[in-house]
């Protein structure tokens, strides 16, 4: 009995001394989850949370948090008043390191069907930025183009694939159905 207890204690000691494996965080999944949190906040009208997920320099350039909340509340109300509203996210690009930051692009699409039978469709992207190896993320909209994003994020890697924005397009759905 004493020998068996000794063997168990030695085995437990050996197992306890083996360093635990730490898994690398799935950076792309974490970026998409945070972008989805941003999307959900916009769709559900939690504009304060939505604005808090923007990059601080973007918020500053937009006139500050309160002004950006006001502007985004107007946008959200307009989208929600138009009828059917979809805000979908694509999959993040491969992360690119530049300086101390990681960058990804997450494509998105806004699709609104109005009561008048029109459709507004816009495709663009979010630049995700993480300063802690992908644990937390903030975003900048790519709609204004690479040059405008570069003003906010001067270290933006040139090889980050900023999508070309398909601007808001009014589509007459009733005409489309006839064709």
Classify residue 114 as exposed, middle or buried by CB count within 10 Å of its CB (0-12, 13-18, 19+). Answer: middle
Give the separation between CA 65 and CA 131, rounded to whole angstroms: 21
Both tokens of 70, joined, read: 């006001």
Residue 165 covered by a domain: yes
The pLDDT of residue 167 is 56
- Do 121 and 171 form a contact (C-beta atoms < 8 A)? yes
CA distance 42 to 80: 10
Asked if residue 104 belongs to a domain, the reply is yes
pLDDT of 78 reads 80
Residue 18 gets which letter from DSSP?
Answer: S
Q: Is there a contact between 103 and 157 (Cβ–Cβ < 8 Å)?
A: yes
Give phi and psi for 138, each to the nearest 5: -130, 165
> So what's the pLDDT on residue 171?
52
Assign residue 159 the CATH number of its domain: 3.10.450.100
Per-residue pLDDT of the chain (179 residues), as tens digits, is: 544 443 333 333 433 334 333 345 699 999 999 999 999 998 888 999 999 999 999 999 999 999 999 999 988 888 777 777 788 999 999 999 999 999 999 999 888 877 777 777 788 899 999 999 999 999 999 988 889 999 999 999 999 988 776 655 555 544 443 33
For residue 122, list its beta bridge partners. Answer: 110
How wide is the angle at C-alpha 33 spanned by C-alphas 52 and 160, nearest 5°? 85
In a domain, 10, yes or no: no
pLDDT at 178: 37
Residue 6 inside a domain? The answer is no
**Is residue 17, in this structure, part of any structural domain at all?**
no
Reference 125, options 157, 98, 89, 158; nearest CA is 89
Which string of DSSP letters, residue by residue, matches 23-85? PPP-HHHHHHHHHHHHHHHHHTT-HHHHHHTB-HHHHHHTT-HHHHHHHHHHHHHHHHHTSEE
What pLDDT is recorded for position 8? 37
1 domain-assigned = no
- Judge whether 15 lies within some domain: no
Number of domains in the chain: 1
> What pLDDT shows up at residue 9?
37
Residues of the domain holding 32: 25-178
Q: What is the pLDDT of residue 162?
A: 85
Q: Is residue 13 part of a domain?
A: no
- State residue 117 phi and psi, 5-degree precision: 85, 15
């Amino acid at each position: 009995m004493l020998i068996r207890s000794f063997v168990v204690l030695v085995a437990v000691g050996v197992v306890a001394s083996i360093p635990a494996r730490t898994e690398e965080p799935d950076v792309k999944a974490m970026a998409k989850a945070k972008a989805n949190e941003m999307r959900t906040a916009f769709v559900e009208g939690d504009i304060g949370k939505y604005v808090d997920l923007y990059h601080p320099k973007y918020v500053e350039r937009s006139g500050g948090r309160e002004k950006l909340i006001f502007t985004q509340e107007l946008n959200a109300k307009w989208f929600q008043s138009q009828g059917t509203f979809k805000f979908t996210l694509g999959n993040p690009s491969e992360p690119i390191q530049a300086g101390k930051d990681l960058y990804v692009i997450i494509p998105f699409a806004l699709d609104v069907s109005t009561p008048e039978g029109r459709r507004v469709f816009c495709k663009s992207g979010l630049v995700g930025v993480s300063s802690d190896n992908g644990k937390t993320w903030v975003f900048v909209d790519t709609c204004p183009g690479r040059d405008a994003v570069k003003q906010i994020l001067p270290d933006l890697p040139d090889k980050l694939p900023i999508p070309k924005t398909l601007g808001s397009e009014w589509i007459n759905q009733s005409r489309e159905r006839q064709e």
